[in-house]
Amino acid sequence: GIGIPTFASNYVRAEDDITFTSENGVVGYSRLAAAEEGDPDIVNAGGQQVTLVDGASFVHHADSFAVVRSGRLDVTVLGAYEVGADGSFANWRLSTEPFDHLGGIGGAMDLVARAKQVWLAMEHTTREGGPRLLDRCTLPLTGKECVTLIVTDLGVIAVRDGRFILEEHAPGHTFEEIAALTGGPIEASPTLRPVDVWGAVAAG
C-alpha cells in the first residue's frame, strides 16, 4: 500500500526470507533508495524509488494483480483511516471538497480479499487527536473482519475475538495512555513489552 506501509521494506534484515512485491509490478525490492542510487523507473506503489534484491523481476501491472488475486500473497500491508475491533477497516473515502480528488477504493479490495493476512500500518490518532482504532468503523469499509495485526506510532496491536490486544508499546508510552487514545475495547497482552525496532535494525 501507499503511505506509511511503503517504509516497511526499510526494516527487514538481510537474512529474513521476505519478498516484497508492489502492485505496480516490482517483485523483489528492498529499502528505499538513497538519492545517489535511485532509478526513476524502479518505484514502489507510492512512487518512491527503491533498491532491488538479487533475482528481482518486473511484471505487467495486470500480471501483478493476477498474483494478488491468485491468493499467493502471504501478507498485505496497507494504511487505514479507521479500523474496528472486529478487524474491519476503511482506507478510502471520497472528498466533498471541489478539486480534491482522493480517488476510490483501488486495488486494496483485491489485496484484502485474497491475501492470507492483512496488516495495517497507520497513525494511532487523527490530526485532531481522535482515535482511529474504534469499536466499529464509521467510513465505508475496504475489508470486513480481515485485519489480524496493526502497527501504529504507539504500538503493535493484534486483533482477536472482537477486541484489540496491545502486544508491544512504543518506548515512553504506557498501556493506560494508549488505551485512552483507543476508541474500542483494548487489553494488554500478558507478554506486553516495549517495541525494539532499532535493535532489530542494528542486528541486521
Q: How far apart are CA 64 and CA 77, in angstroms?
A: 16
Listing from the earlier edge strand, what are the strands of the sheet with 147-151?
A: 75-78, 117-121, 147-151, 155-160, 163-169, 186-194
Q: Which three cell numbers stand for residue 78?
A: 496497507
Of 35, 4, 8, the closest CA to residue 19 belongs to 8
Active site residue 23: yes
The torsion angle over the Cα atoms of residues 123, 128, 129 and 134, rounded to 10 degrees, is -70
- Cα separation, 20 vs 64, in Å, equals 12
Q: Which residue has the cell 496493526?
A: 150
How far is residue 130 from each of residues 38, 72, 81, 144, measured CA to CA in Å? 37, 36, 11, 22
Single out the catalytic residue among 15, 23, 37, 128. 23
Contact criterion met (CB below 8 Å) for 87 and 145: yes
- Residues known to be catalytic: 23
